[in-house]
Structure 1
Amino acid sequence: MSLSNITTEKVKDRADIEEVVNDYVPLKKKGQNLWACCPFHNEKSPSFSVSPAKQIYKCFGCGASGDAIQFVMEVEGIGFNEAIKQLAQKYGIEVEEDHTATPEEVQAYNERESLYIVQAFARDLFHKNLLQTDEGKSIGLSYFKERGFNQATIEKFDLGYAMDSWDTLHKTATKAGHSEDILLKGGLILQKEGDPSRKYDRFRGRVVFTIHNLAGKPIAFGARILTNDKKQPKYINSPETAVYHKSDVLYGMYQAKQAIRSKDNCYLVEGYTDVVSMHLSGIENVVASSGTSLTENQIKLIKRFTDNVTVLYDGDAAGIKASLRGIDMLLEGGLNVKAVVFPDGDDPDSYSRKVGSEAFQTYLNEHARDFIEFKIELYEEEAKHDPIKRVDTVRQVVQSVSKIPDPITRAVYVKESAKLLQMEEEIVLAELNKILLKGQKETYAKPKDKFSPGPPPQDADTPFEAFLPEEKPKLSAKDVLAGQEREMLRLLVTYGFEKISEDLHVCEYLIQETGDLEFQTPLYQKILIEYKRALRKGVLPNADYFIKLDDSDVKSEVINMISNRHEMSDNWQLKHLIYTNRESDDLSKTTFNEIHRLKRRVLEKMVDETIQKIRVAEENGNIDEVSDFQMVLMALNESLKEINKQLGTVKSR
């Protein structure tokens, strides 16, 4: 269901771009703007800019842009209404609904809200079972206390217990007014195969771990059995639902995100109890993959908060080797990876309970190994007296290095690998180039729009010319005109109400000079029409006006227009007495030149079209038409000559 305009406007007025973005990525001030590594793509150098003055963000790497609402939509993967609701909750704004939504929209909205509500109901019931029932206390609570979990930790992670009965949750939830359909869709109950009337609880006789989204809402559960029943799995997890996609979620991220950001490191473990135990040891920057293989989205989730990951492994060499793919994925995701291995037979949970908090933290600090050193140590013992296994060790290490996207970092690791492997650096580099070339050969074989640097050719079958950049195609008159239309709109949006004379504003001059001219680019024509419409209504259509529109295309384009990757420091003038010209210093000259450039681009496009018409007429043998079009071409070239004279340029057609 859609939200009222009043709620939306309150959120737009209250939401601060710096506060919102800083909840997800750490921002650093540089000049007038704030910068960070982009949360939407992998990068080493910050190209993600936030402008508190303009209340916008812009990534100069991937092109992502928008306001605070758009940022929440993109980073959380949610719709406009959900973003508004999330921001309303952040700022304590009451949410009012608009009852004009379509039936389909109402149904989808209600289902998601019902799923959130029923998951919260289940969390509260499991928690109550744990603390207030004899069964929960004797089985579930005693298990948690045996592991050292205190009351504060139980509350922090919403731990609970599912009663050992077929339908406790089912009966309690339906009695409270929750529908069976939503309980089924939420994965909380199951339907007996062959008997639709028989429904029963998914979680029974197990301790329960609540899985939260980044906003802290319960969205799923993991439940552990406490008996040695070999017929049942040790853990049962919620299925995928409309609010829970396991490939996008890491257990404990809600509780860990602030600590990950402040420590600039994320510990990655396997299970729920590992996460909770580490919190008890004073280490809060920890998340778990919950026993599943790492996914690309989970890695992106970590990268929102830090570039550094330390993977914690149980002391089982065979198990470690089986899970090494995770390290390669982390490297491929642009993260810096270290690893810690616990003594044989221990995991983070058991070892922290065995040695205590202080010794546990000391162990992590002293035993963290760079991924190369870790891999070499892992294979070193068995490869010591076996040349074939030693060769395999080299290939395993170089394979991981090849996953690193940054070429400078790769080069550093090649040098370090060669040193640790006691091999010539050239041999390691040759093996790396072989792996890189194998992965990129197909890419190089295809035509490219622009040159992508990579390894040099390593075999005689690849011609040198294939690695040279292709010549950039010349822009058409249509593309050049689009660029000029955009530039005029940028001036309108940025300086529209600045004066260029005593009684003339930039917007008045530009609009008078263009008259009824229609822009050829549909998006720019739409922005121009909206600008004129706002003026007629007595509204100042500056950048903020367009950013607050609900048209995402217009909003994005205006943000791109007003965003500059580089800004000139005021210290140039204040401290160093270096003075440079800015376009705002002489707006009358700037606007005069831009309107004439636009006219020139329009005329150039008309010239190209007229030349094409002459060619068609010649091919058809229509002499009269050729003559008429030649007269038009002469007039257009005369106009072009006059405009070039005004601009002080010499340009012939």
Structure 2
Amino acid sequence: MRIPEETVERIRQSTDILEVINDFVSLKKRGSNYIACCPFHNEKTPSFNVNPTRQIYKCFGCGKAGDAVRFVMDIENIGYGEALRYLAKKYGVEIEEQEQTPEDLLRQNERESLLIVLNFAKTFFQETLQTTEEGKSIGLSYFRERGFTNPTIEAFELGYTLDQWDALLKEGLRRGYSRDLLEKAGLILIKEGTSGVDKKTFDRFRGRVMFPIHNVSGRVIAFGARILKTDKIQSGSAPPKYLNSPETSVYHKSQVLYGIFQAKQAIRQEDVCYLTEGYTDVISLHQAGIKNVVASSGTSLTTEQIKLISRFTPNVTILYDGDAAGIKAALRGLDMVLEEGLNLRLLLLPDGEDPDSYVHKVGVEAFKTYIRENAKDFIDFKASQWLTEAGDNPLKRAEGISDVCASITKIPDPLKRQTLSQRVSQVFHVSEQSVISEINRLLRKQQEQSKKDSERQNRSGGTLSNKSVQSEPSIDDINSLLDGFGTESPEAASSDSPPSRGQVSIIDSVKLVRTPLSYQEEECIRLLINYGIRELEPGITLCQYVLSELHEIEFQTSPFDLILALFREAYSQGNILTAGDFMNRRSPDGIEIQNQAIHLTTPRYEISDGWLKHEIIVPSEAEIGILADAAYRNILRIKKMLAEQRMTTLQQLLRESGSKAPEEADQLLTEYMHFKRIDIEISSLLGTVISG
């Protein structure tokens, strides 16, 4: 349903983009702005920039840009209306909407419908735990035995589902949710061999305590469940002790960390993330006051999960059980963490203990002390495993050194690799040069393997279609297209071939070649958006100057032509547009214009405070003299390039004028000389050296 425009404006005015983005990414202040590694693409060096004054963000790596609403839409993969509802809930802005009917739900996209029905299920499980006799006697008793308090149960929204075939199904149907939607959410199952009117459906989770799995923003996207009745666990045909939701369009287990919503603020504050294996490990440590803890949600650690941690901290400490399985799990995840550039420490608990049992056994202070005194970096961790196994066997020691060196090669930072090679030589009592040689050998081996894989892929790609082969154009292809740009005659321009509007397509590829003129048009729009309202001299704004100089000139590049038209339209009505007018556009063309406005108003670099400390003064382009000169030279360049374009067209027409009347050829030559004089005059004003 549509949200009234005045409500949208209240939501936008209430929103702080720093608070919104900080829920998903750990921001650090740099100058007047904030930076982070971009959450939308994989990078090691921060290129994601947030401007709190303009309330916008921009990634200089992947190009993502927008305001708080656009960020929520992109990070959560949700629509515009749902992003507004998310922000309204966060900032306590009331939205007056009619109660949704089942028909309304059907009209929503599948993702939103799934999130709504999963939230219904979470609430149903909570109510069952707290209000039914079975829920209190079995589910609540179990949580009490684990030592979970009411605030903890509420914080993790724990629940219980009745030991009945269709308790959730009946309640869902009564509330207006369809069987199809409940099935897509992974809440019900269809009995094999049934379909149509004979289709038999029943609840997926029955007689289990429920652990809702949340995404980063706190929405329930799945469930983990544990069966409690011992007679069912011990019987030969027993259902699995633990059962998780299946993957859906909102839940991909390899991309999710259990407890990340509850832990993200503490991870940022403590600047370290503790990684465990189980739900109860997370909950028990959280209740004990160690809140910067997450679990891998029933899967082996994945690259996507590591990247999720890296949004909030570069430091990870793995807390696994001290048995053989725990050691194996720790070693399995070690190289992946290093490969993503994170700093890693590992801790194995005493044999027979897990984080849940150990924190209850020794208390939170002793647990924290144990972490401080026993957590090891990956070199010490691996070395202790190898040295214990190797004893006096030199070959085993050599194998261990090679294994540790192999982990070091996963680290993308060469300076870190150099430093860690010194640690290996100290731990294994070998020369640093031999360690460096082994690391280099392994790196060369990786490069050779990568080259072989690439060659193999290229060979296997030899049978692909011609279109895929042609996707990368040659230099000759590009030059031939550029040679023809801007030379079409009036007759050619009216043909069926697509016009060149500032960019030239290359062999049906997504790659585009921009003309020099398009960059000058972009610079003109940048000056208008940033400084259009500034007065270059009393009574003359930059906008007035630019529009008067560009009278009857149309830009050739989209969307700069549209933005120029908007400036002209507003100025004709006595108004001068500013950056804010483009940031909030929500028309069909609004996204592209908004992105361009953000791109043109967000500087990639800022002057260091250290320069000011040493009295190094850098002139600002906002100074009137500098700004006036920039606008003046930009207008000259645009007119010069337009003159050169016309001269190129006239040259082509003159070459084809052999069959035309002499008077027509003379007219073309006169017009050519006119534009040539303009070109020479502008070159002189710009101080450009020209030939001919």
TM-score by length of 1: 0.86
The 3 A distance-change label for structure 1 pair 129 and 413 is same
Q: CA offsets, 1:47-73, max 9 Å, x none?
A: 332222222122334433221112222
Aligned to 2:559, what secondary structure does the other structure show?
helix
Q: Of 223, 226, 248, which aligns to 2:225?
A: 223
Q: Of 494, 497, 516, which aligns to 2:552?
A: 516
Deviation at 1:200, TM superposition (A): 1.3
Deviation at 1:358, TM superposition (A): 1.7
Q: Of 609, 612, 621, which aligns to 1:583?
A: 621
Pick which of 187-196 and 115-124 moved more. Answer: 115-124
Q: Of 403, 408, 426, which aligns to 2:433?
A: 426
The reply to whether residue 267 of structure 1 matches residue 258 of structure 2 is no
Pick which of 339-348 and 135-144 moved more. Answer: 135-144
What is the aligned-residue identity percentage? 49
Pairing 1:147-166 to 2, within 5 Å after superposition? 147-166=146-165
Separation in structure 2 between the aligned mates of residue 622 and residue 443 of structure 1, nearest angstrom: 62
Separation in structure 1 between the aligned mates of residue 138 and residue 578 of structure 2, nearest angstrom: 64
Pairing 1:119-158 to 2, within 5 Å after superposition? 119-158=118-157
Q: CA offsets, 1:67-95, max 9 Å, x none?
A: 11122222223332222221111122233
Aligned to 2:433, what secondary structure does the other structure show?
helix
The 3 A distance-change label for structure 1 pair 356 and 92 is same
The 3 A distance-change label for structure 1 pair 444 and 493 is farther
**Corresponding residue of 1:13:** 13
* 1:191–1:199 contact (8 Å) kept in structure 2: yes
* 1:281–1:360 contact (8 Å) kept in structure 2: no
The 3 A distance-change label for structure 1 pair 58 and 391 is same
Deviation at 1:16, TM superposition (A): 2.1
Structure 1 unmatched runs, 5+ = 448-469
**Corresponding residue of 2:499:** none
RMSD: 3.4
Deviation at 1:286, TM superposition (A): 0.6
Aligned to 1:171, what secondary structure does the other structure show?
helix
- AA matched with 2:126: H
The 3 A distance-change label for structure 1 pair 432 and 604 is farther
**Corresponding residue of 1:459:** none
The 3 A distance-change label for structure 1 pair 291 and 445 is closer
The reply to whether residue 401 of structure 1 matches residue 420 of structure 2 is no
Separation in structure 2 between the aligned mates of residue 376 and residue 631 of structure 1, nearest angstrom: 84
The reply to whether residue 650 of structure 1 matches residue 650 of structure 2 is no
Pairing 1:606-625 to 2, within 5 Å after superposition? 606-607=646-647
Pick which of 621-630 and 582-591 moved more. Answer: 621-630
The 3 A distance-change label for structure 1 pair 604 and 443 is farther
* 1:39–1:303 contact (8 Å) kept in structure 2: no
Deviation at 1:640, TM superposition (A): 1.8
The reply to whether residue 358 of structure 1 matches residue 365 of structure 2 is yes
Q: Of 336, 340, 343, which aligns to 1:329?
A: 336
Separation in structure 2 between the aligned mates of residue 611 and residue 326 of structure 1, nearest angstrom: 66
Separation in structure 2 between the aligned mates of residue 582 and residue 131 of structure 1, nearest angstrom: 64
**Corresponding residue of 1:66:** 66
* 1:42–1:334 contact (8 Å) kept in structure 2: no
- AA matched with 1:499: E
The reply to whether residue 94 of structure 1 matches residue 81 of structure 2 is no
The reply to whether residue 593 of structure 1 matches residue 633 of structure 2 is yes
**Corresponding residue of 1:531:** 567
The reply to whether residue 212 of structure 1 matches residue 250 of structure 2 is no
- AA matched with 1:558: A
Aligned to 1:583, what secondary structure does the other structure show?
coil
Pairing 1:491-570 to 2, within 5 Å after superposition? 491-550=527-586, 551-568=590-607
- AA matched with 1:221: F
The 3 A distance-change label for structure 1 pair 97 and 323 is same
Q: CA offsets, 1:459-509, max 9 Å, x none?
A: xxxxxxxxxxx9xx9997953211111111111111111112223211111
Pairing 1:631-646 to 2, within 5 Å after superposition? 634-646=673-685
Aligned to 1:123, what secondary structure does the other structure show?
helix
Q: Of 271, 285, 291, which aligns to 2:292?
A: 285
**Corresponding residue of 2:352:** 345
Deviation at 1:633, TM superposition (A): 5.3
**Corresponding residue of 2:388:** 381
Separation in structure 1 between the aligned mates of residue 11 and residue 392 of structure 2, nearest angstrom: 67
* 2:24–2:217 contact (8 Å) kept in structure 1: no
Separation in structure 2 between the aligned mates of residue 152 and residue 274 of structure 1, nearest angstrom: 17
- AA matched with 2:266: A
Separation in structure 1 between the aligned mates of residue 168 and residue 552 of structure 2, nearest angstrom: 68
* 2:208–2:227 contact (8 Å) kept in structure 1: yes
Separation in structure 2 between the aligned mates of residue 422 and residue 441 of structure 1, nearest angstrom: 30
Deviation at 1:357, TM superposition (A): 1.7
- AA matched with 2:578: N
The 3 A distance-change label for structure 1 pair 51 and 191 is same
**Corresponding residue of 1:22:** 22
Pick which of 432-441 and 13-22 moved more. Answer: 432-441
Deviation at 1:595, TM superposition (A): 0.8
Separation in structure 1 between the aligned mates of residue 453 and residue 534 of structure 2, nearest angstrom: 50
Deviation at 1:370, TM superposition (A): 1.1
- AA matched with 2:619: N
* 1:265–1:308 contact (8 Å) kept in structure 2: yes
Separation in structure 2 between the aligned mates of residue 306 and residue 89 of structure 1, nearest angstrom: 27
The 3 A distance-change label for structure 1 pair 324 and 601 is farther
The 3 A distance-change label for structure 1 pair 24 and 150 is same
Deviation at 1:323, TM superposition (A): 5.2
* 2:647–2:676 contact (8 Å) kept in structure 1: yes
Pick which of 500-509 and 281-290 moved more. Answer: 500-509
- AA matched with 1:480: P
Q: Of 507, 517, 524, which aligns to 1:488?
A: 524
Separation in structure 2 between the aligned mates of residue 610 and residue 97 of structure 1, nearest angstrom: 63
Separation in structure 1 between the aligned mates of residue 54 and residue 380 of structure 2, nearest angstrom: 47
Pick which of 283-292 and 368-377 moved more. Answer: 368-377
The 3 A distance-change label for structure 1 pair 592 and 431 is same
* 2:522–2:560 contact (8 Å) kept in structure 1: yes
Pick which of 367-376 and 237-246 moved more. Answer: 237-246
Deviation at 1:214, TM superposition (A): 2.3
Deviation at 1:610, TM superposition (A): 5.6
How many residue pairs match? The answer is: 623
Aligned to 1:584, what secondary structure does the other structure show?
coil
The 3 A distance-change label for structure 1 pair 121 and 107 is closer
Separation in structure 2 between the aligned mates of residue 579 and residue 597 of structure 1, nearest angstrom: 29
The 3 A distance-change label for structure 1 pair 417 and 180 is same
Deviation at 1:341, TM superposition (A): 0.8
- AA matched with 2:138: I
* 2:253–2:299 contact (8 Å) kept in structure 1: no
The 3 A distance-change label for structure 1 pair 632 and 384 is farther
- AA matched with 1:11: I
Q: CA offsets, 1:248-296, max 9 Å, x none?
A: 3211111111111111111111111111111132110011112212333
Separation in structure 1 between the aligned mates of residue 597 and residue 436 of structure 2, nearest angstrom: 46
Separation in structure 2 between the aligned mates of residue 423 and residue 541 of structure 1, nearest angstrom: 69
